[in-house]
Structure 1
Amino acid sequence: MLQRGSRSNSFGAMRMLCWWGFGFVGLMFVKLVQGFEDSNVTNMLYYNNNRPLMVGLTLIYGAAAKGAVCLDGSLPGYHFHRGYGAGSNSWLIQLEGGGWCGNIRNCIYSKKTRHGSSAFMEKQIPFVGILSNKAEENPDFYNWNRIKIRYCDGASFTGDSQNERAGLYFRGQRIWLAAMEDLMSKGMRYAKQALLSGCSAGGLATILHCDEFREMFPRTTRVKCLSDAGLFLDAVDVSGHRSLRNFFGSVVALQGAQRNLPRTCTSRLNPILCFFPQHSIASVKAPLFLLNAAYDTWQIQASLAPPSADYHWNWYDCRKNYARCSGPQMQYLQGFRNQMLRVVRRFSRSRKNGLFINSCFAHCQSERQDTWFARDSPHIGNRGIAQSVGNWYFDRVQVQAIGCPYPCDKTCHNLVFN
């Protein structure tokens, strides 16, 4: 359970079960099942002290006829809260995160969870952070039509294949299209403003589908995209290998995602590399905002220093608690931050794009109230995350915010794992 104090959050001992008895793919899957990036968990403290808006699950009943089904063949769904007043013709779509599944065994397990079947999805979820309906919590988007599309395909809404023998349906691309069609029929086609957002695997999906989303609307509609914690890097891990590239390769191959990745990338690179945003962000035509922690905790634990690469468990303490990292380990993490800054260099040259890269040990900051918009939420300079995103979306101020390296940022809400 989360505990407040010194701006750190603890996920509890159960989070560490993933380190035992699993290889890297198993780790990825356990993160998927336990909801590492699940805002329903990370907002526990907020729920204890406030009463957030609870929004019910809507299944897309026309999806099955299009083959747009979850891993287990069940109907996909979303949570929808109508906008009002000045926001009645504005639409915010948030794509849920939840890891990936890259082999048959893990996908079979996943289809028995909320990330693989609507039968296990919560019937209601709280809308907080960027989905909040309160002006004091979400000043720019509180009265918009706000939708959270549930994630149940395991490939960031890109797969389009199946495995009949295992009873698995990899239909992420079809789910994306079915959800968009359903929402268009409910009024989104008349949108004057639209924002596609997502966190983690949903943040990656936001980047991959950004231009598709833009093309669904007239040119007169203001359409932009916000990726939160979706900037996954093709980084070398502590053993000198590329654990995440190997894993993403298995996801792309198993789920047939290659045909649905941006052609501006696949026309010149291996599709596996195109699953990494670093190779496609500069060619996204629609305005795109990247919100990311420079020391993304998911990437530290599952990509940079996963147990499968940490042969002698030298990183065990560091990956749980940044304060326990040695000097050489922090130097290695500073190198990861430098790689991230190099990746966004070309992207940031376009004035239409936005950046907020703070030097925090965090993951997914738009879905949590304490990091999105609160009295002590993270800042770069004198602006927090919600204000920066709003300024960029409404063209009030150009936003290219990059925080100074650790440990100078004192506004972080760093994650600590017990």
Structure 2
Amino acid sequence: MPSLSTSSAPATHQLRLWWRRLGRRGAAGAAFATALLAAALFLTLSRYAAVPADSTSSPPSYGHRLPTLVELTLVDGAKDKGAVCLDGTPPGYHFLPGFGDGSDKWLLHLEGGSWCRSFESCARRKKTNLGSSAHMDRRVEFVGILSDDESQNPDFYNWNKVKIRYCDGASFSGNVEDEVKNGTSFFFRGQRIWEAAMAELLWKGLARAKQAFLTGCSAGGLSTYIHCDDFRALLPKTSTVKCLADGGFFLDVEDISGRRYMRSFYNDVTRLQDVRKRFPHCSSDMEPGQCFFPREVAKSITTPMFILNPAYDVWQVEHVLSPEGSDPQSLWQNCRMDITKCSSKQLEILQGFRKALLDAISEFKNRIDWGMFIDSCFIHCQSMNALTWHSPSAARINNKTVAEAVGDWFFNRREVKEIDCEYPCNPSCYNKVLDEPYKED
């Protein structure tokens, strides 16, 4: 996923990269690097102290300390269980132990990254971090809802936190026994990956959690809808267990050419990985892809759930509303990259898209223990970014950031059913501007 753009790259970012390269070169070098980082951070904060945060300029680099880097752990014994990535490598996760009164509390995050719908697209995916642990970063930054910085993540900073890597191509839901498809070895084992990862984390302490929170972004948000009740069932009845899906409420709507592109896409995914059997809630007259949409999955969820979604989801505008092939004259090219460049007619269509989202979630609005935060921003996934989760530049509804709203809901401080007004009404929104087609992390 492209990072939020700034007018220039902060010096701290460049030095952070240099720090990683420095790695293990010795104490003297490390001490020197620490001094340089401190100086750069001071200069960066000084530079941004006088810059007002408004929606017309790029957001400032907020003054959090550098994110904690967390090592990759491969799931032990995963291959013996057949719980493997698309290419047969073991799945992985990053675990940051909690501390203080967060030692018996757990927050799990399911990584996103779209899906693969054919043998050809899954073959390409096998050569990336989204299909093979051999290509995954060995260390990742924990930011946003995973941060251990209290100023960035006030309610969950000291919890045990886990980022579960996504490498199966079907939101942790496929379970195909056959290993050879189309003359090539493929492993469609997302359900087994989920089960193997949970077993290992339960052993590491999750089984004793007094409070537990399952979260996910994008395709990981869909995974959260799919596995929310499964997660609840793994933990003691006395535990407080809730779920949050960020940018994962994908819509079954017509695109600008009148096709239901996303339903067709999901039909391919569910057939390829035999996912239909995973959804007993689906009626026999429904297409298999329909069962994969959150609106259908969520109907059977009994665990408290929080729906976090922008009304103008930048990924969905590009891939659901105006996908490839729907716009042969490229009339939507500018609009899908920058909402400020949409014509009045295009904005009218976007308002219709927002209405479709509100209609789809309306049945869940009446569930007392559910929460929601639907802002009017042009963005995708807001819990995994320091700026959009909780910072002076973060979008607000009723003067609450996403982090504050989620915390209020999780700890029952108030009911949270926040529905923003139509674009461009919210001046606190940071609207993403793309310079290339949107790709996820």
Fold shared by both chains (TM-score > 0.5): yes
Deviates most, 70-79 or 154-163: 154-163
For each residue in 1:65-111, what CA deviation from the matched residue of structure 2 results, as whole angstroms up to 9, or x when unmatched?
Answer: 11000000000010000001111010000000011001001101100
Aligned with residue 96 of structure 2, among 81, 86, 100? 81
The 5 A counterparts of 1:213-292 are: 213-261=231-279, 263-265=280-282, 269-292=286-309
SS at match of 1:169: coil
1:98 aligns with 2:113: yes
Q: Structure 2: where are the runs of 5+ without partners?
A: 8-58, 436-441
Aligned with residue 372 of structure 2, among 340, 355, 370? 355
The 5 A counterparts of 1:237-386 are: 237-261=255-279, 263-265=280-282, 269-386=286-403
Q: Distance in 1 between matches of 2:133 and 2:81?
A: 17
Question: For residue 187 of structure 1, what is the aligned residue in structure 2?
Answer: 205
The 5 A counterparts of 1:39-118 are: 50-118=65-133
The 5 A counterparts of 1:116-131 are: 116-131=131-146
Q: Distance in 2 between matches of 1:163 and 1:146?
A: 33
What is the root-mean-square deviation in Å for CA atoms of aligned residues? 1.8
For each residue in 1:351-379, what CA deviation from the matched residue of structure 2 results, as whole angstroms up to 9, or x when unmatched?
Answer: 10000000110000000000001012110
Question: For residue 217 of structure 2, what is the aligned residue in structure 1?
Answer: 199
Corresponding letter in the other structure for 1:271: P
CA apart distance, 1:218: 1.7
CA apart distance, 1:252: 0.4
Question: For residue 395 of structure 1, what is the aligned residue in structure 2?
Answer: 412
SS at match of 1:401: strand
CA apart distance, 1:46: 5.5
CA 280–2 in structure 1, closer or farther in 2 if over 3 Å, else same:
closer
CA apart distance, 1:61: 2.1
Is the Cα contact below 8 Å between 1:3 and 1:45 reproduced in 2? no
Q: Distance in 2 between matches of 1:266 and 1:151?
A: 29
Is the Cα contact below 8 Å between 2:395 and 2:428 reproduced in 1? yes
Corresponding letter in the other structure for 1:54: L
For each residue in 1:132-164, what CA deviation from the matched residue of structure 2 results, as whole angstroms up to 9, or x when unmatched?
Answer: 001111000000000000000000000111451
For each residue in 1:366-395, what CA deviation from the matched residue of structure 2 results, as whole angstroms up to 9, or x when unmatched?
Answer: 000000010121100111100000011111
Question: For residue 18 of structure 1, what is the aligned residue in structure 2?
Answer: none
Is the Cα contact below 8 Å between 1:307 and 1:313 reproduced in 2? no
Bigger radius of gyration, 1 or 2?
Answer: 2
SS at match of 1:319: helix
Is the Cα contact below 8 Å between 2:254 and 2:260 reproduced in 1? yes
Q: Distance in 1 between matches of 2:363 and 2:381?
A: 23
Is the Cα contact below 8 Å between 2:113 and 2:219 reproduced in 1? yes
Q: Distance in 1 between matches of 2:306 and 2:62?
A: 28
The 5 A counterparts of 1:128-147 are: 128-147=143-162
Q: Distance in 1 between matches of 2:414 and 2:164?
A: 29
CA apart distance, 1:279: 1.6
Is the Cα contact below 8 Å between 2:108 and 2:164 reproduced in 1? yes
Is the Cα contact below 8 Å between 1:391 and 1:397 reproduced in 2? yes
Is the Cα contact below 8 Å between 1:356 and 1:402 reproduced in 2? yes
Q: Distance in 1 between matches of 2:60 and 2:202?
A: 35
Normalised TM-score (structure 2) = 0.84
Q: Distance in 1 between matches of 2:107 and 2:333?
A: 39
Question: For residue 230 of structure 2, what is the aligned residue in structure 1?
Answer: 212
Question: For residue 4 of structure 1, what is the aligned residue in structure 2?
Answer: 6
Q: Distance in 2 between matches of 1:268 and 1:195?
A: 34
Deviates most, 273-282 or 80-89: 273-282
CA 349–129 in structure 1, closer or farther in 2 if over 3 Å, else same:
same
Is the Cα contact below 8 Å between 1:46 and 1:369 reproduced in 2? no
Question: For residue 168 of structure 1, what is the aligned residue in structure 2?
Answer: 186
Q: Distance in 1 between matches of 2:60 and 2:214?
A: 27
Corresponding letter in the other structure for 2:174: G
Corresponding letter in the other structure for 1:294: A
For each residue in 1:21-62, what CA deviation from the matched residue of structure 2 results, as whole angstroms up to 9, or x when unmatched?
Answer: xxxxxxxxxxxxxxxxxxxxxxx9869984110000000121
Q: Distance in 2 between matches of 1:265 and 1:141?
A: 35
Q: Among the aligned pairs, what percent are the same residue?
A: 48
Q: Structure 1: where are the runs of 5+ without partners?
A: 6-43
Normalised TM-score (structure 1) = 0.88
CA apart distance, 1:312: 1.5
